[in-house]
Structure 1
Amino acid sequence: MSIPFYKFEIPVLEAIDVKNGEATIEFVYDWIQKNKKDFFKEDPELLGRYKEGKGQIIWQNKIRFAREYMKRKGQLEFPSRGIWKMTAVGKDRLENWRKTGADPDQGLEIFHGITEIEETQDPEKVDLKVPPIYEHGDLLGFKGIVYEPINEQGVILLFAAMAEDLSFMIESIRSSFPDALLKRRNSKNRWQPVRAEFEFKASTFIQHGHNQNDCDLIICWENDLNNKKIKIPILSLKGEVEKIRRRAS
């Protein structure tokens, strides 16, 4: 199976980074051909041409598709003809890939419908529709989650990933208050029920006017409350991630 064009995105960013974030198209081609020889060994047809040998060189056309796709994702810009410049968004993606070994954009091509593109076309004439760029937090790289939460949904996702480490089991999660029914292992090695509410910041619990008597635990990313203001225990996942990392080091 031919290597799809979106697999060339990280190599394009790598090549541009060699030139401090701004490079000519010729340099990008040359760098990839010299430094990504495994691509050509895996897929020798990349060295051929489309249209029965009369069209574009296949691997170069794929790079142009990668360029157009990253342009629409806000990762590349073109200050002048033939010059490719990596944006802050592109640099962030490359740095995250280098730190974690995981591409933050992996899977987006399916969501965007890019896998259905016919790559023999001229990339500049293909409408690569990309939804607005999603915001994300700082790099987390924990339990398979790339970024820190920036909202309640992110807190729920992170808690689900680390529940076992915190001696919890998830029985159910719902949209009404309280958000979750959990089981927690106590000191006697028995499971007890816990009614939990998820918040990005603990103070949101008070802002929402929730009844403290109907909740046993607030699970948040950041505890910004003076505990004297509230009688419910607060579990800060930010703090728990730090504890787990310290124990592992």
Structure 2
Amino acid sequence: MVLLKLMAGYGLSVREIVGTAARRWNKQTEKWVAAEPNLKGLQIQDLSQDGVLVHRKMGGPTELIPLKQDHIGEVRKLIGRRKKGKIIPLSVSRVEQLLRRYSARAGVFDGKVRPQMFRDYYRKNQGLPYLSTTIPLTTTNPPTTTVSRTEGGRHVGRKIDYPGLTYAPINEGGVILLFATMNSNDELGFSVESIADAFPDALVVDYRANRERGVKKYIEFEFLSSNFAKHNHDPAKCDIIDCWEHDWNDCPPNLEVIALKTLIKELERETFGTSR
């Protein structure tokens, strides 16, 4: 319950609370390797009588978040005799699993409650009162929504159920949206400086190697990595291709390719034990 209060009552993300995995993506092997976590989560030693220090995502400041005294008491009770380490020693995937399990038992949103929903509640209601309207705890049916008739014929990709995005991209616009969503969830490790109308699409600061010292890089978004060549872009003027699927066998070695489809599959394996 402490975790949910920190999200719904103070607007903290699940990754700011429990931290991110100690890993990074190796583009050569296309596998995760051990590395310093992008976010270390709330630390026991950072809790004081006034609140708790929150280590924001890469490039962001460390911020003291004031907590109500009764909430500080709940946190200290959770910590018990532990002197250091994470206040809530869970992984993001474990939190997601627990939310699905207990929301299914309670009949809330058919077991599809996600951490982001609690943060969305805070943004809409500034945390008061907790979970009063955004997540009805007694209903078995999600709130109905009206769908415009003009939307009926739109095509969508396969269902990926990534927090904030239901379907896989089917075009470059979808890739940009997924990149922004994953990056805001601290899955990628960039800070976006600017978006351009012409090539290259974006200027970002790359904090993946060192969360305290970033490197400015240019990103071009493509649905398929091979579209970079089809669009006659100059590889010398770009650093990274962010795409849904990497299909360019002759990609120049100076270009890093981030294939979001591969990353999504890795996250599914981490969460569900296998990709769906």
TM bracket, shorter-chain basis = 0.3 to 0.5
Bigger relative CO (Cα 8 Å, ≥ 6 apart): 2
Question: TM-score, normalized by length of structure 2?
Answer: 0.43
Greater fraction of residues in helix: 1
